[in-house]
């Protein structure tokens, strides 16, 4: 279970967090290995084209370049001149190909990294890595319909949360139940990629993973939709449509959020309702006979 203490350290610089001990650090290293293995097996070089119940559609991917940040590793800081000696002496080289190359290098020398942190103090925020890897482990593999989507509007969040700040530019928040007492929902924030791609209309990439402690602030006033169809685009294409039971489960989950946190019901299922009626009408078997 994720503790309040772990959550309280997530936003801190590594140097400001207490060293958690070698056993905890080793557990985090195991989590990191599992997360990267999960990514390579299930997400790498795949896109997910998702149709929502409000009739909208978006395509997103978990890009290699975003994985390091997603899993709680401060690549920007660790690739700076300040950590040049660390990279050369502990990782064995200062040559790496971007953040994903750095991540692979880190895993190759993880025993040396753990030893260095034990002897000199933590270079990494292990609490942040533990939380982020736990979130990634729990989130949908996007071939299951167990997640909802918040069409997130930051001004609405600020207005309804007494001026609280939201340190993300995410335009959509994908959420799942976490079964955690201190953070009941895990979320993945995605935003439009800044790379123009002709083959897709609107491509999104993952910006952040987080576990909000104040769920009400995240949902209050925001428009919510549920996925009704997923097209997985990789070596082969796989189309999956949500069953009626899966849709109802997600709608009932959102209804429980509305009731628990006393917020307006802003779920939009009009697009799916219209599509269902249209499909049923086309499949009704009505034949038009020309008059003679």
Q: How confident is the model at residue 213 (pLDDT cuts 50, 70, 90)?
A: confident
126: in domain: no
- Per-residue pLDDT at 291 exceeds 80: no
Lowest mean pLDDT among 15-29, 161-175, 176-190: 161-175
Q: H helices of the chain, where?
A: 4-9, 22-42, 64-70, 75-78, 84-89, 98-108, 110-120, 126-138, 154-160, 215-219, 244-261, 270-282
89: in domain: no
64-120: pLDDT as tens digits: 999 999 999 999 999 999 999 999 999 999 988 899 999 999 999 999 999 999 999
The answer to whether residues 84 and 94 touch, using CB atoms and an 8 Å cutoff, is yes
246: in domain: yes
| Counted domains in the chain | 1
What pLDDT sits at residue 281?
63
Q: What percent of the chain has pLDDT over 70?
A: 93
- Per-residue pLDDT at 55 exceeds 50: yes
Mean pLDDT of the chain: 90
243: in domain: yes
114: in domain: no
161: containing domain: 45-63+141-275
- Residue with more model confidence, 277 or 127: 127
- Per-residue pLDDT at 287 exceeds 50: no
Strands 203-210 and 57-61: parallel
Find residue 240's DSSP bridge partners.
230
287: in domain: no
What pLDDT sits at residue 240?
95
What pLDDT sits at residue 195?
57
What would the mean pLDDT of 265-287 be, rounded to a whole number? 76
258: in domain: yes
HSE on the CB side for 120, CA within 13 Å?
Answer: 11
230: in domain: yes
């Amino acid at each position: 279970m994720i503790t309040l203490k772990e959550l309280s350290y997530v936003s801190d610089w590594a140097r400001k967090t207490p060293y958690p001990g070698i056993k905890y650090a080793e557990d985090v290293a195991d989590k990191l290995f599992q997360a990267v293995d999960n990514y390579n097996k299930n997400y790498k070089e795949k896109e997910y084209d998702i149709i929502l119940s409000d009739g909208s559609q978006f395509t997103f991917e978990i890009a290699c370049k975003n994985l390091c940040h997603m899993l709680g590793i401060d690549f920007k800081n660790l690739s700076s001149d300040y950590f040049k000696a660390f990279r050369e002496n502990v990782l064995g080289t200062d040559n790496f190909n971007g953040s994903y190359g750095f991540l692979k290098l880190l895993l190759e020398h993880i025993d040396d990294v753990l030893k260095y942190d034990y002897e000199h103090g933590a270079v990494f925020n292990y609490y942040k890595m533990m939380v982020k890897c736990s979130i990634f482990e729990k989130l949908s593999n996007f071939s299951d319909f167990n997640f909802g989507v918040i069409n997130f509007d930051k001004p609405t969040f600020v207005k309804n949360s007494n001026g609280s700040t939201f340190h993300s530019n995410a335009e959509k928040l994908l959420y799942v139940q976490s079964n955690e007492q201190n953070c009941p929902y895990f979320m993945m924030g995605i935003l439009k990629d800044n790379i123009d791609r002709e083959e897709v209309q609107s491509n999104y990439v993952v910006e952040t993973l987080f576990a909000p402690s104040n769920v009400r602030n995240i949902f209050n006033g925001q428009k919510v939709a549920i996925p009704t169809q997923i097209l997985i685009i990789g070596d082969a294409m796989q189309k999956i449509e949500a069953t009626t039971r899966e849709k109802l489960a997600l709608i009932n989950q959102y209804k429980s959020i509305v009731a628990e946190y006393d917020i307006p019901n802003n779920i939009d299922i009009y697009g799916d309702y219209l599509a269902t009626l249209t499909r049923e009408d086309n499949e009704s078997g009505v034949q038009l006979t020309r008059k003679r």
